Amino acid sequence: MTHTPARVLLAATLAAGTPLTAVGCANEAILHKVTTAPSPSAVRTPPAAHASPAAAPVLTPAQAQAALITEADLGAPWTPTQGTATWRDTLLKAKTATPDCQRLLDALYADELLGTPATTQAVTTVDDPDDEAQLRYQVAAFAPSDVDRSLAWLKTLPQKCANFTATTARSGTQTVTVTEATLPTAGDARQGLHLTLTGTTPEGDRSTLTVDTAAVRVGADTITVTNGGLGNVPVDAMQQALEVGAQRLTDVQKQGRVQI
């Protein structure tokens, strides 16, 4: 599919194996689960040790909010989200025998790639209905040393979790592959992963969920992005989000910070 020029091309998660969808279906009911129940991001499933309290000055809540990207930064067809992507429960809520791979799945499902933020955080989510994709973007404060340890751990996963199987309650067994994602040179330190989860739907159709995720440290603050969808997820959205977002966060940091 070719997106409009407004989208400054540079790619997050949906996949298959879910009984509600197959690759190529662009139904809003498939992409979203609109509910008043807490979203997966509110489910505290710690992927690892929580971040240590930050000792340095941090952004105010208003500054963190101002540092977020919007759908306008990504261009068409990105729009404000219409609800939680259904593939989170059907595919990312999974079990595997390898501890590091389980930690990764738990982190993606809980939307806590680096653990629980030590202090201020702000989050936004946008949808690409054309690709059945959903992108989640977070600005948060972690202790820089904790971030660097997490980035070092993420870097080991293309070797530790290159290929493994995971069992879901709703979509059966998924074959998972993990490779390193190509990221723009943004911020002070960064690491990204590209995952695919493939399986078979109850109807016997082959399904694929693609997830791109990355973390970028900008000074004492961190950007995390997860972009996933059923089928192929264009890489441009995550790259654009990180480039624009890192510069925006840098500009906000220059406004001054609060001492904790």
pLDDT in tens, 123-179: 999 999 888 899 999 999 888 889 999 999 999 999 999 999 999 988 899 999 999
Q: Which residues pair with 135 in a beta bridge?
A: 126, 227
- Cα 141 to chain centroid distance, Å, stands at 17
Fold of the CATH domain 52-233: Protein Transport Mog1p; Chain A (3.40.1000)
Q: Residue 108 and residue 92: Cα distance in Å, rounded? A: 7
Q: What is the DSSP letter of 48?
A: S
**pLDDT tens digit string along 90-103?**
899 999 999 999 99
- b/e per residue, 45-83, with b = 16+ CB within 10 A? eebbebbeebeeebbeeebbbbbbbebebbbebbeebbb
Tokens of 18: 């879910």
Please calculate the CA angle 255-258-124 and round it to the nearest 5 degrees.
Answer: 70
Query: What is the per-residue pLDDT for 131?
Result: 80
AA identity, residue 45: T
**Alpha-carbon gap, residue 170 to 195, rounded angstroms:** 19
The structure tokens listed for 155 are 């870097």
Could you tell me if 119 and 40 are in contact, meaning their C-beta atoms sit under 8 angstroms apart? no
Two tokens at 160?
């530790």
C-alpha angle 177-115-40 in degrees, rounded to nearest 5? 75
First to last CA, the chain: 48
CA distances from 95 to 52, 82, 100, 105, 199 (A): 27, 28, 11, 8, 14
Average pLDDT of the residues in 53-74: 82
Average pLDDT over residues 48-76: 76
**Mutual angle of helices 144-160 and 99-110, in 10-degree steps:** 120
Per-residue pLDDT, averaged over 235-249, amounts to 93
**Res. 7 pLDDT band, cuts 50 70 90:** very low
Q: Is the pLDDT of residue 212 over 60?
A: yes
The mean per-residue pLDDT over the stretch 17-30 comes to 40
Integer Cα distance of 109 and 46 in angstroms: 10
Residue 170 · residue 18 · CB < 8 Å = yes
Q: Which of 13, 12, 14, 22 is closest to 200 using CA atoms?
A: 22
Domain segments of the chain as ranges: 52-233
